[in-house]
């Protein structure tokens, strides 16, 4: 019970950047790998803002051997003069005070990614050290912070130079984050995105840990972005690009889009001032409204629709779209510091009008192509209506002929409370047998897999539907698939992939996730897909009364703790597969909601996911070979094999 003696002395004021260290997730979203990399984005955003304003066309990010990261730009350099209001140097304010910066002054930045002005200071607050060098007005200026933003080297001039720009180097605080290891592919993906969005700007990534250098530079921006995403797809149209600036708000809109055949998903990446708005917002709403109106109006004018009305989902099936806005600070509204969703109300009308006018004109000027687009939309509509009709017939009929072959190994859940139900897709009959015995019969269903699933990135729809495992998964989840998938109809709140903790298990996970990604993507984006994490070890012994003392371990570090807990005379089970656990062990470690460990699958970086699926799961083996050669250190593999032997 809380202390009832609540007085004024119980009110604590966190000074400077203490609040950031106390509640880091409020500023960077989390303290896991996602939050860790957010520190980089905040500093890169500042460099991008300079480039957006026309200052500097090279931004270099370096991952250093000591685990630190530096960002160098060729902008104007952060001002180093004394701020009259505070008596502090401007650069010190930027790195030590929340909501301090030039982003609030439209005379300094017409449009900027760093809306809230807390980025650099938050990165400083959550770092072991933050070292800043400013090249400005012929001088090299240096300032340094340590231990969460404490000033240790006041601003000083250390030399002269002809360069201009800012160099920021920081090392994340290991006491704050669950991991402090930066991933080159995550940073690479982010920089490549920025290069697509900023034509003519060079983005360089240097990884000193493995001595690599990558550079991203694109002259055709969003068109090349779409080409990169859809490189292995069957294109219905070329990449179409449209741009304009709204005269009243000065909002700059650029849109690139392409229709693809044999793709049931709508893929939309939206950005504001070079920052991805992964949760969408008013600009996406405006795009959908304008696109739907343009297609329907054209169809009616050409007497193609014959009184029919196309829904937005019919039009956007198989459509890949990039929406990039530059919004002046006066109109810029985001939801939260991480800028995940645009809230600017004017963006609805601005984007809707621009895409309607531009795309309507495009359709009129390219009538043959327009007819192909309309036909695809009508086919999508027909498939949607047919799927809905079939679903209604299934619901109203007690006896329905099942044309697909279903597995007889599915053990269903008994409850009709679908939100509480869980479907375990299990590797192998042995583990499936243990899972059936250890399950909660009311809410947990078990589907053992027979061998590895098919790679759905490279098979036909007909072959997919005649595959017993996938047909059973589709039927069991109960929400259709592809264009007919409806998240409201799912029979399980959680779809849990449960495989062995080895390379075969990882491969099965990848094949299943590829299937969900292509045919039930909303299942992932809505947070319904999980990976079960079985333990690697069981440490146990019997005491004098024959009572078993045991503890499970999911890592080598936990194994050491488990040994200490069990004490002298312990024995160890090393689980090489799920089948080595009996029903009780599998239940209490991997299936029981009270004690299990699950990983929720999400699409944090959609561009990176799309690239990985295309390269690693696609038909082009040369791309896959190149990726392996570029990313796998075979010397490390050889060393690992020797250690295992």
471-490 pLDDT, tens digit per residue, is: 888 989 999 888 778 899 99
Phi, psi of 375 (to 5 degrees): -60, -45
Catalytically annotated residue among 504, 602, 604, 620: 504
Q: Where are the beta strands (DSSP E) in 75-188?
A: 127-136, 139-146, 150-160, 165-172
For residues 166 and 95, what is the distance between their CA atoms, to the nearest angstrom? 13
Averaged pLDDT, 346-354: 97
Q: In the predicted model, is pLDDT for residue 8 greater than 60?
A: no
Read off φ and ψ for residue 268, nearest 5 degrees.
Answer: -130, 125
For residues 11 and 566, the model is more confident at: 566
- Please state, in angstroms and rounded to a whole number, the distance separating the CA atoms of residues 533 and 601: 12
- Looking at residue 9, what is its pLDDT? 43
Per-chain mean pLDDT for the chain = 85
Res 395 pLDDT > 70:
no
Nearest to 232 by CA among 393, 420, 33, 457: 457
Looking at the chain, the whole-number percentage of residues with pLDDT higher than 70 is 87
DSSP assignment letter at 589: I
- Strands 494-498, 529-532: pairing is parallel
Residue 132 has pLDDT above 90, yes or no: yes
Please, what is the end-to-end C-alpha distance for the chain in angstroms?
56
The helix/strand/coil state of 159 is strand
Token pair 């409204």 is found at 289
Confidence of residue 407 (pLDDT cuts 50, 70, 90): low
pLDDT of residue 338: 53
Q: Give me the pLDDT at residue 627, please.
A: 64
Gap between the Cα atoms of 450 and 472, Å rounded: 12
What pLDDT score was predicted for residue 642? 37
Q: Is the pLDDT of residue 314 over 50?
A: yes
Higher-confidence position of 394 and 619: 619
Model confidence pLDDT, tens digit, residues 540-590? 998 888 888 999 998 888 999 999 999 888 999 888 888 888 999 999 999
Most confident of 451-460, 488-497, 548-557: 488-497
What pLDDT is stored for residue 366 in this prediction?
95
The token pair that represents 63 in the structure block: 């991952």
Closest by CA to 240, choosing from 295, 191, 277, is 295
Strands (E), 262-351: 267-272, 275-276, 319-326
Specify which residues 254 forms β-bridges with. Answer: 243, 324
User: Which residue has 């859809």 as its token pair?
Assistant: 230
Contact at 8 Å (CB) between 575 and 536? Answer: yes
Catalytically annotated residue among 173, 284, 427, 469 = 427
Catalytic residue (one of 128, 284, 500, 610): 500
Comparing C-alpha atoms, which of 131, 134, 206, 209 is closest to residue 170? Answer: 131
> Among candidates 276, 280, 367, 372, which has minimal Cα distance to 318?
372
What is the sign of the dihedral through the CA atoms of 397, 399, 405 and 407? positive
Maximum pairwise Cα distance, the chain: 88
SS3 389: helix
pLDDT at 186 over 80: yes
CA distances from 208 to 67, 191, 213, 488 (A): 10, 17, 9, 48
pLDDT for residue 336 is more than 90 = no
Among candidate residues 335, 502, 582, 602, the one labeled active-site is 502
Active site residue 427: yes
Which of the pair, 418 or 4, is modelled with greater confidence? 418
- State the average pLDDT over residues 7-32: 68
Q: List % helix, strand, coil for the chain (3-state, nearest 5).
A: 40, 20, 40
Bridge-based pairing of strands 252-261 and 234-235 is: antiparallel
Using the predicted structure, report yes or no on whether residue 277 has a pLDDT greater than 70. Answer: yes
Phi, psi of 189 (to 5 degrees): -60, -45
Phi-psi group of 214: left, alpha or beta (phi > 0 → left; psi -120 to 50 → alpha; rest → beta): beta
Q: What is the mean pLDDT of residues 206-233?
A: 93
- The CA distance from 570 to 547, in Å, is 13
Q: Kindly list the distances between the CA atom of residue 324 and the CA atoms of 274, 321, 331, in Å, as whole numbers in the listed order.
A: 7, 10, 15
Output the CA–CA distances (angstroms, integers) from residue 620 to 93, 217, 232, 463, in the order listed.
51, 24, 8, 20
Burial class for 357, CB neighbours closer than 10 Å (0-12, 13-18, 19+): middle
Nearest by Cα to 268 from 252, 256, 253: 256
The model's pTM is 0.77
Is residue 317 flagged as an active site residue?
no
Q: Which of 274, 248, 279, 280 is nearest to 326 (CA)?
A: 274
Tokens found for residue 419? 């939100």
Rounded to whole angstroms, the Cα distance separating 620 from 63 reads: 31
Q: Quick check: is 502 catalytic? A: yes
Q: What percentage of the chain has pLDDT greater than the value 90?
A: 55
Give the model's pLDDT for residue 117: 43
Give the β-pairing of 319-326 and 267-272. parallel
Of 343, 241, 240, 352, nearest to 289 (Cα)?
352
Q: What sign for the dihedral angle of Cα 6, 8, 9, 12?
A: positive
| pLDDT value of residue 429 | 82
**Which region among 102-111, 116-125, 147-156, 563-572 has the lowest average model confidence (pLDDT)?**
102-111
Dump pLDDT digits (tens) for 57-115.
999 999 999 999 999 999 999 999 888 888 888 899 889 887 665 554 555 555 555 54
Angle at 350 between CA 381 and CA 41, to 5 degrees: 95
Mean pLDDT of 413-417: 91
- The pLDDT of residue 505: 87
Query: What are the pLDDT digits (tens) for 520-539?
Result: 999 999 999 999 999 999 99
Q: How far apart are CA 258 and CA 413, in angstroms?
A: 42
């Amino acid at each position: 019970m809380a202390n009832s003696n609540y007085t004024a002395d119980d009110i604590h004021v966190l000074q400077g950047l203490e609040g950031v260290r106390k509640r880091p997730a409020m500023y960077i979203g989390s303290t896991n790998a996602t939050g860790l990399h957010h520190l980089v984005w905040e500093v890169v955003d500042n460099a991008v803002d300079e480039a957006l304003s026309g200052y500097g066309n090279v931004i270099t990010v370096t991952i250093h051997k000591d685990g630190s990261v530096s960002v160098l730009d060729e902008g104007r350099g952060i001002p180093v003069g004394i701020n009259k209001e505070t008596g502090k140097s401007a650069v010190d304010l930027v790195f030590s005070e929340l909501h301090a910066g030039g982003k609030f002054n439209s005379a300094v930045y017409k449009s900027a990614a760093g809306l809230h002005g807390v980025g650099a200071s938050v990165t400083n607050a959550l770092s072991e050290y933050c070292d800043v060098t400013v090249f400005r007005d012929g001088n090299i200026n240096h300032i340094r912070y340590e231990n969460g933003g404490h000033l240790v080297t006041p601003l000083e001039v250390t030399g002269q130079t002809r360069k201009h720009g800012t160099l920021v180097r920081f090392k994340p605080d290991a006491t704050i984050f669950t991991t402090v290891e930066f991933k080159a592919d995550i940073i690479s993906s982010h920089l490549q995105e920025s290069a697509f969005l900023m034509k003519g700007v060079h983005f360089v990534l240097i990884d000193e840990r493995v001595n690599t250098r990558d550079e991203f530079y694109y002259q055709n921006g969003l068109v090349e972005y779409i080409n990169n995403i859809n490189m292995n797809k069957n294109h219905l149209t070329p990449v179409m690009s449209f741009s304009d600036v709204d005269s009243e708000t000065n909002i700059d809109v650029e849109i690139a889009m392409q229709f693809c055949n044999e793709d049931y998903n709508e893929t939309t990446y939206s950005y504001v001032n070079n920052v991805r708005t992964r949760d969408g917002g008013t600009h996406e709403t405006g795009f959908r409204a304008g696109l739907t109106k343009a297609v329907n109006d054209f169809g009616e004018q050409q007497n193609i629709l014959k009184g029919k009305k196309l829904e937005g989902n019919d039009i956007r099936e198989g459509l890949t779209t990039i929406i990039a806005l530059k919004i002046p600070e006066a109109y810029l509204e985001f939801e939260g510091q991480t800028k995940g969703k645009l809230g600017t109300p004017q963006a609805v009308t601005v984007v809707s009008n621009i895409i309607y006018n531009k795309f309507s004109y495009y359709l009129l000027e390219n009538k043959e192509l327009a007819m192909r687009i309309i036909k695809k939309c009508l086919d999508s509509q027909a498939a949607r209506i047919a799927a809905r009709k079939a679903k209604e017939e299934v619901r109203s009929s007690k006896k329905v002929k099942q044309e697909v072959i279903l597995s007889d190994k599915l053990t269903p859940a008994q409850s009709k409370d679908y939100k509480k139900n869980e479907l375990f897709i299990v590797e192998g009959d042995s583990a499936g047998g243990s899972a059936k015995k250890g399950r909660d019969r009311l809410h947990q269903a078990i589907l053992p897999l027979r061998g590895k699933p098919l790679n759905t990135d490279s098979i036909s729809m007909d072959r997919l539907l005649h595959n017993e495992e996938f047909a059973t998964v589709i039927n069991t989840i109960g929400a259709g698939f592809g264009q007919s998938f409806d998240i409201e109809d799912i029979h399980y709140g959680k779809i849990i992939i449960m495989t062995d903790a080895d390379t075969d298990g990882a491969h099965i996970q990848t094949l299943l996730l590829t299937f969900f990604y292509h045919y039930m993507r909303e299942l992932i984006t809505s947070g319904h897909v999980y990976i079960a994490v079985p333990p690697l070890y069981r440490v146990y012994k019997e005491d004098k009364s024959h009572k078993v003392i045991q503890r499970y371990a999911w890592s080598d570090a936990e194994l050491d703790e488990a040994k200490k807990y069990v004490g002298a005379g312990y024995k160890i089970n090393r689980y090489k597969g799920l089948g080595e656990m009996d029903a009780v062990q599998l239940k209490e470690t991997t299936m029981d909601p009270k004690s299990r460990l699950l990983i929720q699958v999400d699409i944090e970086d959609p561009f990176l996911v799309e690239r990985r699926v295309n390269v690693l799961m696609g038909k082009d083996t040369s791309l896959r070979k190149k990726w392996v050669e570029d990313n796998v250190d075979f010397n490390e593999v050889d060393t690992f094999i020797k250690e295992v032997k």
